[in-house]
Amino acid sequence: MNRTVKIILAAAALTAVLSTFLYFRYPYDTLTAEMAEVHKTVTGSGFILRGETVVENESTGVFEPLVKDGTRVARGSTVGTVISGDLDEKLAEQLEDVTGRIDDIKRSESIADLYASDDARIYSVVKELAADIRAAAEKSDYSSAQDCKNRLSIIAEKSAASKTGGARDELLLSLQKEQYELETRLGGVRDEIAAPAAGFFYSSLDGLEYYGNADVVGTLKAEDIDGFSEIMKEFKPDSGQLAKIEDSYAWYLAATVKQSEAVDISQGDAVMLSIDEQAAVSATVLAKNEENGTCALIVKSTRSVQGITDKRTCEFEIETKAFRGLRVPAEAIRVRGDVTGVYVVSENKAVSFKCVDMLCRDGDFYVVKNKYTPPQGSKFQALKIYDKILVNPEAVRGYDKDIGKS
């Protein structure tokens, strides 16, 4: 190799080194473009609504449920009685109080297994004995009445002793005994109450029964949902409103969220819905009603979730569709003209601008489309997996001239 060639090669090498040195103003950071999957979620507090039919009756008096909460009933089947007529006001109040305490025990989560098969049998026997007491009292046969009462006491004692929750169960049977004794003393007219629809019976009302109807729930606005707590707090059923029947397997989550939190949710979307941190179930966004920066989300599901059949308020998490693509630092995003992209650094320190198609933001990062095809005629290539993204493009000389921050 002659002297001239050596000089030329040395000059070229020196030029490359100086070019690289001069190309960067100061040390730069890079991040490799790698695949990522992001599941966007919306969380908060909401209300559970269902199709519910109120059990009503024109008679005024004391309502006595004859089936336990959560029992599936047929349309037209007897679910309770209303005792009315010329009643002793004090006895009627006592009976209403006792009946309410019994309902409270039945609804208590701590006694979910209280009414097993043996309890149903005991309940039937107790009712028969109560009827015998009533019949004996009407005939002034106090000896027979006392005998029946003694048998009731024995049943209560033995039943309570046979259960693990003895004290609790003993209280329930004691209250049932008191209930039937009060009914016997009260007399009056008894009207059987039939279920107006097939479904699951519940003896308590809270004022939100109307809002779960299929023709209403999808029209709810944020202000409607925000008022639910006050409705429940102030609600007192009319004298003829006795109980309710949940007549649909479908249930709805109704919640209000900021519009900015629900940008990835649209009406008709298939989502995964978790209630009170339980396993998520499939659901559909029935409605997204937006107004003044807030939106009412109505999410429908027909999947079973343990413990929510008589639940009204809840905590929820809605998981929207997953976004899968390349993970890009938000601070690296720049705009050239009308093209959004990032700067990448090659192995030989060459810097080039590559365009991206953003799918979603996840904190300090964006997920952008992998294998993106730039628009026809674009002078930029698309970002590819394993490209070295220049996190601080300001390190590139000429940045101030032809690149603007997004």
Across the strands, what pairs with 245? 53, 201
Count other C-beta atoms under 10 Å from residue 125's C-beta.
13
String of DSSP letters for 99-131: HHHHHHHHH-GGGTTSS-HHHHHHHHHHHHHHH
How many whole angstroms separate alpha carbon 51 and alpha carbon 246? Answer: 6
pLDDT score, position 40: 84
pLDDT score, position 226: 95
How many whole angstroms separate alpha carbon 129 and alpha carbon 151? Answer: 8
- Tell me the three state secondary structure of residue 284: strand
Residue pointed to by tokens 């006050």: 230
Sort strands 313-329 and 294-301 into parallel, antiparallel or unpaired. unpaired
Residue pointed to by tokens 């590819």: 384
pLDDT score, position 5: 46
Residue pointed to by tokens 């390349």: 326
Length of the chain: 406
Which class for 273: exposed (0-12), middle (13-18), buried (19 or more C-beta within 10 A)? Answer: buried
pLDDT score, position 14: 41
How many whole angstroms separate alpha carbon 192 and alpha carbon 195? Answer: 10
Count other C-beta atoms under 10 Å from residue 134's C-beta.
18
Would you list the domain boundaries of the chain? Answer: 22-38+325-405, 98-186
Considering the entire predicted model, what is its pTM? 0.59
- Please give the CATH number for the structural domain made up of 22-38+325-405: 2.40.420.20
pLDDT score, position 201: 94
Sort strands 351-355 and 381-382 into parallel, antiparallel or unpaired. parallel
- Tell me the three state secondary structure of residue 164: coil
String of DSSP letters for 81-100: EEEESS--HHHHHHHHHHHH
pLDDT score, position 88: 64
pLDDT score, position 225: 96
**pLDDT in single tens digits along all 406 residues of the chain:** 565 544 444 444 443 433 444 455 556 788 999 999 988 889 999 999 999 999 998 877 778 888 888 899 999 999 988 876 555 667 767 777 887 777 666 655 333 443 343 555 566 666 676 777 777 666 666 556 666 665 666 556 555 545 545 566 778 788 878 777 776 666 656 778 899 999 999 988 999 999 999 899 999 999 999 999 999 999 988 878 999 999 888 999 999 999 988 888 999 999 999 999 898 999 999 999 999 999 999 999 999 888 888 889 999 999 987 889 999 999 999 998 889 999 998 888 888 899 999 998 888 999 999 989 998 888 899 999 999 999 888 777 655 444 444 3
pLDDT score, position 93: 74
